[in-house]
Amino acid sequence: MQGRTLSEHEIESERHRLAQLALVIVDTEGREACSLRRLSAVAGTSRTTPYSYFTNKEALLDAVRVAAIHQLSDACERAMNECAAHVTEPVALAAAQLRGVGQAYVGFALQRPALYALIFDTPPGGTEHIAATQRYRRLSQAPLAELGRLGMSTLPPERLAHVLWAATHGIIGLHRAGKLNQGLEFDTALQDLRDTLAFGFVPRTNTGASP
């Protein structure tokens, strides 16, 4: 006897459940441990069931990548909301939210390295991936846009966000590769990087002194 046909909502719900279980596998055991066969065992389904939702391992990892980006965005959003609950002055709030987003990003990268690596290992593609990336960019650029509106930065938020991301992503990569070997702790090097970048983007008045 054939089983009933699942509704679109049920199909999407099960696909989401399987993607979340696969995310846990990648997060705790690494990318190579995540396979459709392993997922079926963890999910308590037949070995063929995951193939009804993901055509192959790469399709499954694509879904995990999207879920990971959303979890990174969730962490950034929580940090911003926490700042908003305690800071009201506009400049201080925007600055605090920018720090909060940066700390959430670094925390995600260091605490969940397999997911962090998965996010960046392929070019963007697919509507779900694009939507997830756009959500992260909106969140991460919001404090920068507010600082620009308040006259506290000299670059458009999308350009400044790219510079800050490139610098942060770079120092994280060096740290994970064991290349920060100049006698500085990672936290110290990261703070120095933030301070240097912040100084470069804050507008400075012309004092009239000769160059």
Amino acid at 176: R
Q: Report the distance separating Cα 169 and Cα 177, nearest Å.
A: 12
Contact of 104 with 83, CB cutoff 8 Å: no
List the pLDDT tens digit at each of the 211 positions of the chain: 455 787 888 999 999 999 999 999 999 999 999 999 999 999 999 999 999 999 999 999 999 999 999 999 999 999 999 999 999 999 999 999 999 999 999 999 999 999 999 998 876 678 999 999 999 999 999 999 999 999 988 889 999 999 999 999 999 999 988 888 777 789 999 988 988 887 667 665 544 443 3
CA distances for 157 relative to 79, 130, 137, 162, angstroms = 19, 19, 10, 8
Q: Report the distance separating Cα 194 and Cα 158, nearest Å.
A: 17
CA distances for 3 relative to 6, 79, angstroms = 9, 45
SS3 of the chain: helix, strand, coil, percent, to 5:
75, 0, 25
pLDDT of amino acid 6: 79
Q: Is the dihedral of CA 117, 122, 128, 131 positive or negative?
A: positive
Amino acid at 148: G
pLDDT of amino acid 135: 96
User: Rounded to a whole number, what is the largest CA-CA distance in the chain?
Assistant: 88
Q: Report the distance separating Cα 52 and Cα 33, nearest Å.
A: 20
* Residue 126: both structure tokens together: 């697919």
pLDDT of amino acid 101: 95
pTM of the model: 0.88
Q: Is 22 exposed, middle or buried (0-12, 13-18, 19+ CB in 10 A)?
A: buried
What does DSSP assign to residue 119? H
The helices-and-strands tally (H runs, E runs) of the chain is 8, 0
Contact of 142 with 84, CB cutoff 8 Å: no
Residue 101's H or E segment, with its range, is helix 90-111
